[in-house]
Amino acid sequence: MQHLKNKYFEEGYLHLPNFLNSAEIDEIRAEAKQVFINQMIRLGLISGSVNETEFEHALYKMFETDLQAFINCGKHIQHLISLHRLSLDHKIVQLLNDIGIKSPVISTRPVLFFNSRYLAKKEVYWKTPPHQDWRSIQGSINAVVIWIPLIDIDVELGAVEIIPKSHLEGLITKETVDSFGVISNEFNKDDLFVPMEVKKGDIVLFSQFLIHRSGNNSSDSIRWSCHFRYNDLDEESFIDRKYPHTYIYKPDDTLIHPEFDTLDGVKNYFNG
């Protein structure tokens, strides 16, 4: 695997075709879709099973008619067991070891994206600007992202675009916009970016210093992908900087549905 490590160190990324089992990928997307489908049925947008086009149209309608339900579904799919299981897959952990990450640790929770201009109030929610992930995480110097397509993604669907070797510049930006370490200097030029067209089962691994952005999803379809991020607990600068952790997770302290009768609910559930 030394050749992979050498290529990664030089280019800042690896595109590995057919790295994952397609059945595992299908399971994640099917489970994510089912979360939305449950709410679509409640809203009367669909009555049962639907094909891909019907699902997408219903999801766009759900976004327009019940934004809170849409947002809640989007939050819950980030916690699918199948998604988190994949982030711990032995092949992924071995790959991290092979490129020099001695003691991998998940730096942020796995993220499942479903991007479309029809599902966003702001452009950044479906088309991210040029940025470096390291700015928002500030982890180990060898921290990586693993970007996984859940479907085949070509340029029309907005394939991720990278600037090869840009990781060697270190942290270029000090500014964040919508939590992205945005790039607004000489590196923000279209001719520098290379699209990474990928198939389901492929992965793209890249340094968190690599400059990348979303491609332009010019289609009417949804771009499904998931992203895993890892630090190295054995990396010396990470140790010297006291293991910084920038993400804050906290609950909503309000009672969201005060009218919900929990006493009646538990009696009905536990008494059959």
Complete domains list, the chain, with CATH: 2-20+89-270 (2.60.120.620), 22-84 (no CATH)
What pLDDT is recorded for position 157?
94
What pLDDT is recorded for position 81?
98
Confidence of residue 178 (pLDDT cuts 50, 70, 90): low
Helix axes 22-43, 67-76, angle to 10 degrees: 150
Tokens of 168: 């060697």
Tens-digit pLDDT profile for residues 190-235: 899 999 999 999 999 999 999 999 999 999 999 999 999 999 999 9
DSSP state of 139: -
Distance CA 147, CA 145 (A): 6
- The pLDDT mean for the chain works out to 94
Comparing 16-20, 162-166, 248-252, which segment has the lowest mean pLDDT?
248-252
Rg of the chain taking only CA atoms, in angstroms: 20
**Which residue matches tokens 């607990």?**
233
What pLDDT is recorded for position 229?
98
Confidence of residue 189 (pLDDT cuts 50, 70, 90): confident
Q: Cα–Cα–Cα angle for 214, 71, 45, nearest 5°?
A: 105
The distance in angstroms from the start CA to the end CA of the chain is 56
Is the dihedral angle over the CA atoms 25, 102, 169, 7 positive or is it negative?
negative
Tokens of 88: 């711990």
pTM: predicted TM-score of the whole model, two decimal places: 0.93
Distance CA 233, CA 159 (A): 31
Half-sphere exposure of 265 (CA within 13 A, CB side): 4
Tens-digit pLDDT profile for residues 104-122: 999 999 999 999 999 998 7
Q: Bigger pLDDT: 214 or 177?
A: 214
Contact 169, 161 (CB under 8 A): no
Is residue 175 scored above 90 in pLDDT? no
What pLDDT is recorded for position 138?
96
The separation between CA 261 and the C-alpha centre of its own chain, rounded to angstroms, equals 36
Distance CA 161, CA 211 (A): 9
**Which residue matches tokens 């929990």?**
262
Counted residue by residue, the chain has a size of: 272
What pLDDT is recorded for position 179?
67
pLDDT more than 90, % of the chain? 85
Q: Which residues pair with 232 in a beta bridge?
A: 104
Q: Which residues pair with 111 in a beta bridge?
A: 227
Is residue 173 scored above 90 in pLDDT? no
Confidence of residue 32 (pLDDT cuts 50, 70, 90): very high
Comparing 20-34, 176-190, 202-216, which segment has the lowest mean pLDDT?
176-190
Half-sphere exposure of 148 (CA within 13 A, CB side): 26
Distance CA 271, CA 263 (A): 12
Distance CA 222, CA 158 (A): 10
Tens-digit pLDDT profile for residues 123-140: 777 788 899 999 999 999
